[in-house]
Amino acid sequence: MESGVQVSTPECAGMLNAIGDSLYVIGGKWKLRVIVALGEGNKRFNEIQRTVDGISARVLSSELKELEMNGFVKRIVHTQTPVVVEYQLTDYAGTLSEVLRTLAEWGTKHRDKIRRER
């Protein structure tokens, strides 16, 4: 091994399953982006929608529900008048920080590469 092509750990099968598990929970078009958006701090529904470019209300609503079910997001209702609803990341969402970091890093480098090629 010299060029970094060999990506796998000794047993590839375990890695395959582990990656499968990850994608099952945080895969898809929006989940990670919503989480990143909330990484800035608590947000209200429409704020999130404005931050995550292109997401519709319907989809955001269902994504937030799934994220809540999976323990990444907490929904906080401030019972003032008018009622204010905030979403915030849970501690568990913090376990994704390394994933997000590497993914963002790679995306940046990849974009640069594409730029250079054109």
Partner DNA sequence: CGGTATCCCACAGGATACTG
Partner DNA sequence: CAGTATCCTGTGGGATACCG
The reply to whether 111 sits near a second copy by the rule CB under 8 A is yes
Question: Closer to a second copy at the Cβ: 18 or 57?
Answer: 18
The reply to whether 40 sits near a second copy by the rule CB under 8 A is yes
Q: Kindly report the CA angle at 28 between 24 and 34, in degrees rounded to 5? A: 110
The reply to whether 75 sits near a second copy by the rule CB under 8 A is no
What sign does the dihedral 79-93-70-40 (CA atoms) show? Answer: positive
The reply to whether 46 sits near a second copy by the rule CB under 8 A is no
Q: Is 41 left (phi over 0), alpha (psi -120 to 50) or beta?
A: left
Among 22, 61, 95, 102, binds DNA (CB under 7 A): 61
User: Which stretches of the chain bind a second copy, using CB under 8 A?
Assistant: 3-9, 12, 14-23, 25, 27-29, 32-33, 35-41, 51-53, 88-91, 93-111
